[in-house]
């Protein structure tokens, strides 16, 4: 991994990170547009065709799993691992259960406004798949949807050779999910955004995915809601004191193994510390079960950063707004760090525990989206409903001012509508 000197190369380093993000998107957009056009023209036939091509289906499967298939898949998981999944569900539920927005009433003479949070009717939870299984992402998406009161929850996941990972079906069964589909990639996003064949059109699509899934979500926003842009994973570690090269290297490996497009980096004020970390990475990268993916991620998107001024390091991290951040050292610096999707603080708070068992949501904004949004929550599955009533006294008091504003803006009918009420 390249070592950047932040004091001398600040602008070049920021450009390296931001330009790297854009390069990942460049070819993806054209590919996703092709997928979209194929689905629009060939509908369900295109979905099956893509599954045969990319998920290596040797025969045609029903896109929707039967309840029997879910039960049979779930039955393959033993009691010990079932308890592990239940434990995660309990922790995620415990953290999320009080997140729903609070109803409120606003009153003023002649005016009554009521705000209520109503659940969305249909949500699709995307669960990544392919070379790894993610029952954890199913839990992270379904639990807040259920707590919000979403009426219909649909789960979809890529299925290599048409087979759904049994841990994913077990998590679905534990959460009472009956609407489950064997469909992944950008094609899954378009299918549920538009309603293709027997696949329903939903109100919101949530869940992490690769760059193709992220681009498809960006494209369908407006036709449906999305949680956020949650693409290839990102991690930046800020060390304000020297800490275990072994622990830090495995933290970096843990995010690099998700995707060869993953971005991982570490800031330290000690050149010797950075060298020890780099040496450990080189020595132990071969121990990763997903070695090829880790190597590509670190080669293309990994970095080490030497800094002298911690304020400058924090400025860079806020600018980049990575999906995950770890802070090891002076915890008071959290007061100035605002934009990572989540901040894990202290020597024991590894991002891997956040992915599974802390209870906070691991569906988080990537690509700098942390500058304006946060992670998935119960509130994201709700809509703010606003009910307004005014009486004659309010019209009498503020009507003339509102009429004047309509004249300033050149909107004649607005003023006439208000005048008509004043005359009642």
Query: Looking at the structure, do residues 102 and 138 belong to the same domain, yes or no?
Result: yes
Confidence of residue 132 (pLDDT cuts 50, 70, 90): confident
Shared domain check, 222 and 115: yes
Residue 318's domain comprises: 2-26+232-366
Give every strand in the sheet of 111-119, ordered side by side: 104-108, 111-119, 382-390
286 lies in a domain? yes
Verify that 185 and 263 share a domain, yes or no. Answer: no
Mean pLDDT, rounded, for 220-226: 96
98 and 220 part of one domain = yes
Report the share of the chain in percent with pLDDT over 70.
100
pLDDT band at 27 (very low <50, low <70, confident <90, very high): confident
Tokens in use for 127? 């669960």
The pLDDT value given to residue 67 = 94
Verdict on whether the full-model pTM lies above 0.85: yes
Active-site annotation holds for 324: yes
Residues 278 and 304 in one domain: yes
CA–CA distance, 203 with 201 (Å, rounded to integer) = 7
- Please indicate, yes or no, if residue 112 is contained in any of the structural domains: yes
Q: With contact defined as beta carbons under 8 Å apart, do 342 and 253 qualify? A: no
For residue 372, being part of any structural domain is answered with no
**Contact residues for 249 (Cβ-Cβ < 8 A; gap 6+):** 277, 280, 281, 284
Domain count, the chain: 3
In-domain check, residue 305? yes
pLDDT digits (tens, 9 = 90+) for 67-96: 999 999 999 999 999 999 999 999 999 999
| 268 vs 303: CA distance, rounded Å | 11
Q: Which residues neighbour 301 within 8 Å (Cβ) at sequence distance 6 or greater? A: 20, 261, 262, 263, 264
Sheet architecture: strand order including 2-5:
2-5, 302-306, 263-268, 234-239, 324-328, 342-345
Same domain for 111 and 10? no
31 domain residue, yes or no: no
Q: Which residue is catalytic, options 234, 323, 333, 362?
A: 323
CA-angle at 365, arms to 361 and 366, nearest 5°? 130
Residue 396 has a CB neighbour count (10 Å cut-off) of 12
- Which strands sit side by side in the sheet containing 152-157, from one edge to the other? 179-182, 152-157, 122-126, 204-206, 225-226
319 is an active site residue: no
Domain annotation covers residue 371: no
Q: Do both 198 and 64 map to the same domain? A: yes
**Distance between CA 278 and CA 105 in Å, rounded?**
57
Check whether residue 106 and residue 68 sit in a common domain: yes
**What pLDDT score does 107 carry?**
97
- Please check whether residues 13 and 91 belong to one and the same domain: no
User: Do 175 and 267 fall into the same domain?
Assistant: no
Say what percent of the chain tops pLDDT 90. Answer: 92
Residue 36 is assigned to a structural domain of this protein = no
Q: Are residues 47 and 21 in the same domain?
A: no
**Distance of alpha carbon 176 from alpha carbon 179, whole angstroms:** 9
Residue 374 has pLDDT above 90, yes or no: yes
What pLDDT is stored for residue 25 in this prediction?
76
Together in a domain, 208 and 147? yes
**How far is 165 from 157, CA to CA, in rounded Å?**
9
- Considering 96, 258, 324, 333, which one is annotated as catalytic? 324
Residue 272 lies in a domain: yes
- Tell me what pLDDT residue 87 has: 98
Question: Which of 386, 398, 389 lies closest to 112 in space, CA to CA?
Answer: 389
Question: Position of tokens 């415990």?
Answer: 94
pLDDT in tens, 310-325: 999 999 999 999 999 9
Give the CATH number, domain containing residue 295.
3.40.50.1980
What are 273's strand-pairing partners?
Answer: none
């Amino acid at each position: 991994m390249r070592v950047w000197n932040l004091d001398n190369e600040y602008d070049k380093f920021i450009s390296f990170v931001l330009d790297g993000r854009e390069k990942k998107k460049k070819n993806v957009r054209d590919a996703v547009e092709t997928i979209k056009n194929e689905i629009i023209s060939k509908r369900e036939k295109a979905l099956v065709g893509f599954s045969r091509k990319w998920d290596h289906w040797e025969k045609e499967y029903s896109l929707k799993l039967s309840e029997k298939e879910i039960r049979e898949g779930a039955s393959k998981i033993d009691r010990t691992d079932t308890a592990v999944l239940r434990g995660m569900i309990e922790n995620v539920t415990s953290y999320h259960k009080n997140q729903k927005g609070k109803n409120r009433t606003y009153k003023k003479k002649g005016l009554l406004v009521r705000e209520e949070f109503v659940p969305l009717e249909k949500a699709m939870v995307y669960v990544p798949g392919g070379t790894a299984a993610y029952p954890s992402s199913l839990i992270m998406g379904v639990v807040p949807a259920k707590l919000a009161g979403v009426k219909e929850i649909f789960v979809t996941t890529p299925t290599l050779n048409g087979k759904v990972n049994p841990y994913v079906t077990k998590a679905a069964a534990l959460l009472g999910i009956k609407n489950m589909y064997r469909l992944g990639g950008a094609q899954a996003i378009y299918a549920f955004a538009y309603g293709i064949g027997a696949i329903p059109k939903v109100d919101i699509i949530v869940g992490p995915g690769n760059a193709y899934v992220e681009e498809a979500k960006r494209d369908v926003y407006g036709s449906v809601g999305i949680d956020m842009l949650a693409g290839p994973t990102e991690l930046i570690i800020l060390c304000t004191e020297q800490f275990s090269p072994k622990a830090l290297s495995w933290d970096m490996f843990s995010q690099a193994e998700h995707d060869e497009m993953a971005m991982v980096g570490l800031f330290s004020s000690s050149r010797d510390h950075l060298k020890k970390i780099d040496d450990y990475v080189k020595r132990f990268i071969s121990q990763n079960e997903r070695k090829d993916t880790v190597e590509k991620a670190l080669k293309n998107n990994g970095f080490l950063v030497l800094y002298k001024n911690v304020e400058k390091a924090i400025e860079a991290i806020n600018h980049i707004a990575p999906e995950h951040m770890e802070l090891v050292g002076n915890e008071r610096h959290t007061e100035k760090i605002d934009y990572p999707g989540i901040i894990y603080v202290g020597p024991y708070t590894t991002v891997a525990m956040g992915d599974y068992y802390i209870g906070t949501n691991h569906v988080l904004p990537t690509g700098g989206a942390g500058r304006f949004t946060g992670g998935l929550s119960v509130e994201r599955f709700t809509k703010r409903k606003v009910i307004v009533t005014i009486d004659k006294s309010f019209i009498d008091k503020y009507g003339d001012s509102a009429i004047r504003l309509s004249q300033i803006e050149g909107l004649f009918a607005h003023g006439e509508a208000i005048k008509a009420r004043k005359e009642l």
